[in-house]
Structure 1
Amino acid sequence: MPVTTVSSAVHIAPVVVKTFYKHGKRKAKKLKEGRDEEEALDDIFFDEAFHIVKAFIKMGTKNTVESLQAFTNTHVPAPYWAAVSPVIIPLTSCNRAADMLIEWFGPDELKRVVGGERWWQVRGLDGVDGEWITEKEYLRSAKDNPKMHKNLNDDEADILRMDHLERVMLYVHGGGYFWGSVNTHRYQIIRYARKMKGRAFAVNYRKAPQYPWPCPLQDVLAAYLYLTQPPPGALHSAIPASKIVLAGDSAGGGLCLTVLTILRDLGLPMPAGAVLISPWVDLTHSFPSVMHNIETDIIPQHGFLAKPSTLWPVDPIPKGDGRVVPAKSNRPPDPGHTDTLKPTKKRMEENGNRNDITITKEKVKTQGEMLDAAVNDQRGENASTLGSGGPMRHPSSEKDVREDASDYDVNFWEPKPPKVLMEDPDAIPLELRAQIQLYATTEQLTHPLVSPILQGSLGNLPPLYILAGDGEVLRDEIIYLAHRAAHPSKYPARQGVLRDGVRQKENSEKFTTPTKVHLQVYDDMCHVLTVFSFTHSASCAYRSIAEFAKHVSDSSEEHLQRNPFPELHRPPSEISTASEADDEHPSALKHKTSKKTKASRPKEKRKSSDPSDVKIYKQNEANVFKEVQRGEAEKMPPSHSVGQDSPDLGDCSESEDIPNIRMIRERVNIHGISRPMEPPEDIQALRLRPGQIGIIKEAPTVRWLKGQEKWDKHFKSSAKRALKRRARLEAKARRLLRNARAQGLVLAGEQPIHEPRPGIAREDHPEKIQEDRRWGPLDLEDERPPPTAIAKRLDTPEALALLKKSVYYSPPVSHQTIPKLKKSDVLRATFDPNDDPNRPPPQSVSEQQVRTHIIPVHGLRMWDGIVRYFGRKSASKAVKGTKQVGKQLGIINSHEASGSGERGSAVFVLPSQSHFSTISSS
């Protein structure tokens, strides 16, 4: 059964019952054992919500990729109190973004790593879907805008009416780079826009595996250029980069960070700051928490697997010896398959043009022997010993690691894809024979624009506010990312990355200014904690994100160089506690609607005695100030300080900002109260040497393989059907191409074989060749796109739809003529439910939103209803508990007594229900 609202409800209902039963047993056990420590899962509502999201994502792995994409990219109407105006980011902006990427890569890397400069520019739509989002109460009167005229529809008018809002958040949604959309994240984005009293722009970028890296990257860059350099016809005014805040969760956070590095490298204006919520920045899974935190996170145990389809996996039935096998050779496979990003000239000469490297008489060496051989080859016979002598082992091995060997990987063999780093250096390395991530090929995973944790430098970036959950699998890489950005020299890039990329080596020497970072790690929280908007943790996060966005977008560049942290702004910023403190949208209670609408809306006005996210933020603001006052905050090095050094903070009544703080490091408890983070030397992730970062390791590889083998066995018949359907679709695509040629299709540079038939390529043709569309699927003969990219495939329904649209409806400038469908093709399309001879075929659900023709009772709305319910009940429970404590102890809201806000502090009352959360992950 595909992913639908009904199948989701059927799958999740037993989870709700099971969780309720287990919750009671766990609470009873804690009570019996006398354990009084507080945990996030002690709240039945968070417990239920956590397991609902986890169950939904797990259900997604049991369906095809296309099914999950369609469900999460179904258009869901916006709430009536919000102004949501859809737009199309045109091809002109997309082309500018492409030019930026072409400049960044250079011709050699485009050919060697990306596979060409054309295939990733091919798309089905005439641009990228985007949305302007704000609160209706923030809209200016139509009379105040001189651009307003009668021919505008409501959405266009709203864009003009919100144009006066200077603060802009460019939001990039998450979803593992392959699912999710502006629809899954709209309620969260509305909440950000309201709290920052500005507007947001959300981009519905193309997704893998149909449009793998760097397709999503191009689309996010196009969205940024659309804001800063509006194309002709855009209704909004050009937005200065200094007024834009980039924000994204999970995969979206990784894209935001990558965009920042590209803008920095090319010397282009960068945004005022960036918010990274659980950013996924290491697709090699080289950090410990990937293995340790699987039980406390919503991410599936074996990763994002899927039921086989024509699209994914690349090989529905594993070929040869399997998807992961012991190394068959002492060198990686030939370039162009699962190879290193930059094979050596010597190995290329040895390999020649052979594709089958398994036929070899040489003895396959162990991991340690491979290293020793590499050492002897590169440094001479005496290089195989060090110090007191003896054979050396790989500097990144889990065992037998020498403390002074951290720089060996600059010259020695290191297990780059497809080789896997083994825990036992005396073992024969494993080799990957399958693509393990949907976003990029295995050999691309170590590229710094795929895994930005491997950037040569993360210095010289705008201020970053980075959030992570302590229970999420990505926790360690997020913590490492924050410290790498703030300490470019202390946490250098792996030397192998610098060796393989000229730009990365230059960046490591050029960008040495520390990036100012605010890092918060939330106790007991999982991946993308903002999904659970009814919790104290999420309330704290939303408020802190809004205050950060306001501070960096309102301040000058000089001011931000001195202090980018709103918590250190003096005097402290005033925050309205009247309306902004309420999670219930303020205008929703006074908005004029029908009686039916009013009656259906629950009354959720917060009681005046309820603590709000504003009070939590103020408490945390005081905690940060005390940390700086005690000298525990990290200061900028003297060479990078602006103006005078930090003043004496003995007096809390400072009237000027506290300058030259490099990094704020905090943990946040389940009540939203912050405390200083432990020293870096006590954090496991920060003890990893650079040579261990970005290496595919044995444990996560074996875990993924076990899951994939289980899926291969369970879905064996589906895999066979997928292969048969691929063959039928390819035959259909080739017939379409033959017919198009027979009808006079001529590409640029070709000569017509015969005179075009009447009606072909006439000026009055209803469809025109698009001047701004550079390339189509027929222009990729010399390109090598990833095997999942539908731009060059002929064996999936989406590839066929893309081909048909490119030939008959929206041809690129490389086409000289537009053929007409043959009558036989028209007849076939008439009987095809997924085709229509009178209009372009629907494009991939990874790009085009699914539109329903009935009133949508969609699962995304169901989730919003669940969150509202949990928010109301949690708030009610918290109010009762606080009043009880107040009667017994004579105090209410005595959070000051808890000091640093450790667990055990008085319970805060949750904000009233949230309308601003929906399913989102990865």
Structure 2
Amino acid sequence: MTVSTFSSAVHITPTVIKTFYLHSKRKARKLKDHDDGEEALDNIFFDEAFHIVKAFILLGTKNTVESLQAFTNTHVPAPFWAAVAPVRIPLLSCNRAADALIEWFGPQDLNLIVGGEKWWQVRGLDGIDAEWIAEKEHLRDEDFSRGKKLSDEEKNILKMEQLETVMLYVHGGGYFWGSINTHRYQIIRYAREMRGRAFAVNYRKAPQYPWPCPLQDILAAYLYLVDPPPDALHKAIHPSKIVFAGDSAGGGLALTVLTILRDLGMPLPAGAVLISPWVDLTHSFPSIMSNTATDIIPPHGFLSKPSVLWPIDLINDDGRVVRTQTNPPPKPGHADILWPEEGRKNESAQRWPRNAEEQANAGEAGNWESSDQLGSNEKPKSQEEMMAVDRGKDDVETTIGRGPESPTGIPDPDDIDFWQPKPPKVFMNNPLDVPLELRSQIQLYATTEQLSHPLVSPILQGSLGNLCPLYILTGDGEVLRDEVMYLAHRAAHPGEYPVREGVIRDGWRQKDNLERFTKPTKVHLQAFDGMCHVLTVFTFTESAKYAYRSIAEFAKHVTQHSPEHLERNPFPELHRPSSHTSPLDHDNYKSQTADSKKDKHKEALPSTNQAPTQSEHSGEMSDLKVYKENEMVVSDEFAQHDIPDVLMIRERVDIHGHTRPMEPKDQIAALRLKPSEIGIIKEGPLYKWLLGQKEWDQQFRRSAENALKKRRKQEAKAQLMLEHAREQGLLMEGESGHIPPRPSAKRSGSTATGVSGRATKGAIQEDRRWGPLDLADERPPPTAIAGRRDTPEALALIKKSIYHTAPATHKTVPKMKTWDSIRAAFDPHDDPFRPPQQSVSEQQVRSGIRQMHGMRVWESLLSYFMRKSSIKAVDGTRHAGDALMKTGGKIASIVTPDSGEK
């Protein structure tokens, strides 16, 4: 059974019933034990929502990757009260982003690490799907068309020009699922809270489009905003009016794009909001192991039922993880040894390019050969033996992190960091063990060897300084908590948390960054009590309500003040006077609530001259009240500081949304890790994944065998398709032959950026640089759709590039054979006249039962939880008010139920 609304309901319904039963038992036990302690799961709505989300993600692991992608990338109509305008970011913007990435990598890294500069530019669509999002009530009802015939969506884009603050939102989903449809509900709320507009991008997903494909798409979206193509409806937006925002994988992508912009000297946005960003794909921090039970992430990670797409090694009887078989270090980018024996150090040092020119020549010529054959008959050493330095001549602990370098610029053979384990080697708990070695790809986003690259795991950036102000949120119960905490402190205090020396030596740019970017990044870090991964999903909780308010205030602050002002103070909580967008006067509010600060859990609403009108949201007033109280907590904490000297605000947030100062840094376990312990695959997390993968291998053995057979059939179909295309006159640049005089061979420029985004049928697109037939000299990752011929999605990509939207490298667009057209007419996934549906990791699925789709059901559940949660809060406030009236007290204001959404 695939992931669908029906299968989700069947899978989740028992979870709902079980959760309700266990919740009742837990509450009864706490009452019996007179346990007055509060925790997030005491809220029945959060308890249910938490387990619903956890059950759904677990359901996804028991289905194929394509099934989960299709379900979460199904187009769902926007609510009537929101202004949502779809656009297509054109190939022109994609090419600008590609040029920037090519400059960042350089020829050496492109060849050795990325696998080339072409394959990741191959795409099925004629650009990138995106959406402009705003609240209709924030738009003036004026005609901006200036006599042009425009659709309602296009008119809305013009109306949104009046909204100053722009949020570029990058959705999460483990880098391989999710879409603008799964996150639209949240993005609309951000737009409402900050009275601005949001721009959401449906970037390409792994494993079909692995790293660095998503990076190109996010960078293209940013360039589309700040430097729009001629036919774009929106005007160029100054970077100072843009704030990045992203959750989970989206947070990791947003941070990585920020470092690329910084490195290339391109303008940075005004700020960035990172919600539970996934920044360490090696899982080297302790919370990966300790917080499994309190998070929504499956215990074994993101596994999947076998399919033609994933995993690459469907059946691996030799073992996905084995004891290492070799001692010598392999080719660069695949270093897997802890310490080389004598005689190999000099050999490896000689192979290491000595300068940038030699690096480029080595990369272009492919002269860095693997040394796997060296010593292949030798017995593998234990981890301790590999790490021994000249047999007791020096102590291992004293060498870790030392990082000496010879005058020639060649890594010193006596530097332990240079020989530290990198994927696929595994760091063992017992130093006497022979290290493990991975024989399978464990993350869908990147190959195992790429996981320690700073653009894959940005926690390993040479420097996180000189970035725009960051607002970083994490849940105290999530598995990514430690890496998020470490990330925030690394950015704010670059000198205190250096990256390990091995990372610096792996990349010339990282070493350069370490020297160039020493200015601390201003950071506001908040850890939410009892919250799991991406707490903003649970919009009805008091924690999330405060988070939305705080994120909106941050976005408004950094986009509505001058760079000079933000250089002095990027924190809205320390801004004086208070934000002009806030309806409450800070000084009056502070005097009214001075007494209530002593006990933040007591309700004391700001007094007003009249009750809220029907159109006002009590939830928003409550959020604002909590925000203002927290603002004063920060103000009091830094009262003795000069605001420009405040580099970092560190806070914990309780389940009611109230903040308190975070404990000292030396009491946070994640901050006590040595640099040498970060960014390496460790034994514990590996076994956690391996146990699950073994269970999946056994449970889905037959599915894996069937997928292998399907792959062979798809390869045969691809071969036949290419043969028929050649027979019909397909010619590539550099090839000679007869070119049929057909109109379909005409060339066109970039496609339009309007709602349809359709290209001219049968045209050779000048802005489409490369296609799947142009990669003979490239080494794309094994999952990349551009280099595959064994999946239906790969065949759809090839067919589109041959017969419909050919890249610039094609000289002809052949006409399809009659028999091929007939077969396409009987294939439900094909069409004889139109381009086939592209990969569900890129192109949205159009459903015929839109109103019943699971995404709409989830939105309805959230709205229900919002209403019930608000009514519950109101009842509590009224009871407290009655008690105050009996004792002569006065109710400060009347609160009306919050409907959550319009």
Structure 1 residues 608 and 25, CA gap change in structure 2 (3 angstroms): closer
| Residue 23 in structure 1 maps to residue 23 in structure 2 | yes
What does the per-residue CA deviation read over 1:86-118, in whole Å, with 9 as the maximum and x for residues that have no partner? 000000000000000000000000000000000
What does the per-residue CA deviation read over 1:185-228, in whole Å, with 9 as the maximum and x for residues that have no partner? 11111111111111110000000000000000000000000000
| Residue 628 in structure 1 maps to residue 634 in structure 2 | no
CA distance in structure 2 between the partners assigned to 1:857 and 1:883 by the alignment: 37
| Residue 802 in structure 1 maps to residue 828 in structure 2 | no
CA distance in structure 2 between the partners assigned to 1:124 and 1:610 by the alignment: 42
Select which of 764, 774, 778 maps to 1:783. Answer: 778
Q: Which residue identity lines up with residue 241 of structure 2 in the other structure?
A: K
SS state of the match for residue 503, structure 2? helix
Select which of 702, 710, 719 maps to 1:725. Answer: 710
In structure 2, the partner of 1:330 is 327
- 1:385-784 matches, cutoff 5 A: 385-386=394-395, 395=400, 411=417, 413-576=419-582, 612-629=622-639, 631=640, 646=642, 658-752=643-737, 755-757=738-740, 759=742, 762-763=745-746, 766-784=761-779
CA distance in structure 1 between the partners assigned to 2:563 and 2:85 by the alignment: 31
CA distance in structure 2 between the partners assigned to 1:344 and 1:384 by the alignment: 16
- 1:262-301 matches, cutoff 5 A: 262-301=260-299
| Residue 238 in structure 1 maps to residue 236 in structure 2 | yes
Once the two structures are TM-superposed, the CA of residue 48 in structure 1 deviates from its matched residue by 0.2
Structure 1 residues 345 and 441, CA gap change in structure 2 (3 angstroms): farther
- In structure 1, stretches of 5+ residues that fail to align are 397-406, 579-602, 636-645, 647-657, 897-907, 917-922
* Number of matched pairs: 829
| Residue 830 in structure 1 maps to residue 825 in structure 2 | yes
- Asked if the contact 1:368–1:392 (Cα under 8 Å) also holds between the matched residues in 2, the reply is no
- Asked if the contact 2:282–2:680 (Cα under 8 Å) also holds between the matched residues in 1, the reply is yes
CA distance in structure 2 between the partners assigned to 1:349 and 1:661 by the alignment: 47
| Residue 811 in structure 1 maps to residue 776 in structure 2 | no
C-alpha RMSD of the superposition: 2.8
Q: Which residue identity lines up with residue 780 of structure 1 in the other structure?
A: L
Once the two structures are TM-superposed, the CA of residue 354 in structure 1 deviates from its matched residue by 7.5
What does the per-residue CA deviation read over 1:756-793, in whole Å, with 9 as the maximum and x for residues that have no partner? 45648655995210010000001000100110001010
Range with greater deviation from structure 2 (62-71 or 333-342): 333-342
Structure 1 residues 366 and 160, CA gap change in structure 2 (3 angstroms): same
In structure 1, the partner of 2:406 is none
Q: Which residue identity lines up with residue 130 of structure 2 in the other structure?
A: G
CA distance in structure 1 between the partners assigned to 2:371 and 2:823 by the alignment: 40
In structure 1, the partner of 2:387 is 371
CA distance in structure 2 between the partners assigned to 1:789 and 1:74 by the alignment: 22
CA distance in structure 2 between the partners assigned to 1:392 and 1:659 by the alignment: 39
SS state of the match for residue 479, structure 2? coil
In structure 2, the partner of 1:259 is 257
- Asked if the contact 1:335–1:348 (Cα under 8 Å) also holds between the matched residues in 2, the reply is no
Once the two structures are TM-superposed, the CA of residue 141 in structure 1 deviates from its matched residue by 3.5
Once the two structures are TM-superposed, the CA of residue 609 in structure 1 deviates from its matched residue by 10
CA distance in structure 2 between the partners assigned to 1:75 and 1:610 by the alignment: 29
CA distance in structure 2 between the partners assigned to 1:789 and 1:526 by the alignment: 32
SS state of the match for residue 471, structure 2? strand
Q: Which residue identity lines up with residue 681 of structure 1 in the other structure?
A: D
In structure 2, the partner of 1:229 is 227
- Asked if the contact 2:619–2:870 (Cα under 8 Å) also holds between the matched residues in 1, the reply is no
In structure 2, the partner of 1:920 is none
Q: Percent identity?
A: 65
SS state of the match for residue 325, structure 1? strand
- In structure 2, stretches of 5+ residues that fail to align are 352-366, 402-412, 585-612, 748-759
CA distance in structure 1 between the partners assigned to 2:418 and 2:228 by the alignment: 49
Structure 1 residues 268 and 392, CA gap change in structure 2 (3 angstroms): closer
SS state of the match for residue 778, structure 1? coil
In structure 1, the partner of 2:858 is 863
| Residue 154 in structure 1 maps to residue 152 in structure 2 | yes
In structure 2, the partner of 1:198 is 196
- Asked if the contact 1:769–1:811 (Cα under 8 Å) also holds between the matched residues in 2, the reply is yes
Q: Which residue identity lines up with residue 304 of structure 1 in the other structure?
A: F
- Asked if the contact 2:84–2:134 (Cα under 8 Å) also holds between the matched residues in 1, the reply is yes
Once the two structures are TM-superposed, the CA of residue 36 in structure 1 deviates from its matched residue by 1.1
SS state of the match for residue 769, structure 1? strand
Structure 1 residues 855 and 279, CA gap change in structure 2 (3 angstroms): closer
Q: Which residue identity lines up with residue 273 of structure 2 in the other structure?
A: V
Q: Which residue identity lines up with residue 268 of structure 1 in the other structure?
A: M
**TM-score, length-scaled by structure 2:** 0.88
Q: Which residue identity lines up with residue 309 of structure 2 in the other structure?
A: L
Q: Which residue identity lines up with residue 180 of structure 1 in the other structure?
A: G
CA distance in structure 1 between the partners assigned to 2:686 and 2:571 by the alignment: 40
- Asked if the contact 2:425–2:438 (Cα under 8 Å) also holds between the matched residues in 1, the reply is yes
CA distance in structure 1 between the partners assigned to 2:685 and 2:462 by the alignment: 25
Once the two structures are TM-superposed, the CA of residue 165 in structure 1 deviates from its matched residue by 1.4
- Asked if the contact 2:170–2:245 (Cα under 8 Å) also holds between the matched residues in 1, the reply is yes
What does the per-residue CA deviation read over 1:434-458, in whole Å, with 9 as the maximum and x for residues that have no partner? 0000000001000000000000000
CA distance in structure 2 between the partners assigned to 1:229 and 1:352 by the alignment: 39
- Asked if the contact 1:88–1:130 (Cα under 8 Å) also holds between the matched residues in 2, the reply is yes
CA distance in structure 2 between the partners assigned to 1:344 and 1:449 by the alignment: 28
CA distance in structure 1 between the partners assigned to 2:374 and 2:535 by the alignment: 46
CA distance in structure 2 between the partners assigned to 1:803 and 1:335 by the alignment: 32
Select which of 215, 218, 239 maps to 1:217. Answer: 215
In structure 1, the partner of 2:873 is 878
- Asked if the contact 2:417–2:676 (Cα under 8 Å) also holds between the matched residues in 1, the reply is no
What does the per-residue CA deviation read over 1:559-613, in whole Å, with 9 as the maximum and x for residues that have no partner? 11100001111111245559xxxxxxxxxxxxxxxxxxxxxxxx99778699610
Q: Which residue identity lines up with residue 622 of structure 2 in the other structure?
A: S
- Asked if the contact 2:132–2:200 (Cα under 8 Å) also holds between the matched residues in 1, the reply is yes
- Asked if the contact 1:173–1:249 (Cα under 8 Å) also holds between the matched residues in 2, the reply is yes
**TM-score, length-scaled by structure 1:** 0.86
Structure 1 residues 167 and 609, CA gap change in structure 2 (3 angstroms): closer
Q: Which residue identity lines up with residue 115 of structure 2 in the other structure?
A: G
In structure 2, the partner of 1:641 is none
Structure 1 residues 234 and 209, CA gap change in structure 2 (3 angstroms): same
In structure 1, the partner of 2:900 is 914
In structure 1, the partner of 2:33 is 33
Once the two structures are TM-superposed, the CA of residue 166 in structure 1 deviates from its matched residue by 1.7
In structure 1, the partner of 2:837 is 842
CA distance in structure 1 between the partners assigned to 2:372 and 2:468 by the alignment: 48
What does the per-residue CA deviation read over 1:895-921, in whole Å, with 9 as the maximum and x for residues that have no partner? x9xxxxxxxxxxx999724339xxxxx
SS state of the match for residue 612, structure 1? helix
Q: Which residue identity lines up with residue 460 of structure 1 in the other structure?
A: N
What does the per-residue CA deviation read over 1:797-842, in whole Å, with 9 as the maximum and x for residues that have no partner? 1100000000111100100011111112112212211111111000
Once the two structures are TM-superposed, the CA of residue 883 in structure 1 deviates from its matched residue by 3.0
Q: Which residue identity lines up with residue 50 of structure 1 in the other structure?
A: F
What does the per-residue CA deviation read over 1:381-438, in whole Å, with 9 as the maximum and x for residues that have no partner? 7x7323xxxx769959xxxxxxxxxx99655531111110111111111111100000
Once the two structures are TM-superposed, the CA of residue 50 in structure 1 deviates from its matched residue by 0.3
In structure 1, the partner of 2:302 is 304
Once the two structures are TM-superposed, the CA of residue 329 in structure 1 deviates from its matched residue by 1.1
Q: Which residue identity lines up with residue 96 of structure 2 in the other structure?
A: R
CA distance in structure 2 between the partners assigned to 1:573 and 1:74 by the alignment: 39
In structure 2, the partner of 1:638 is none
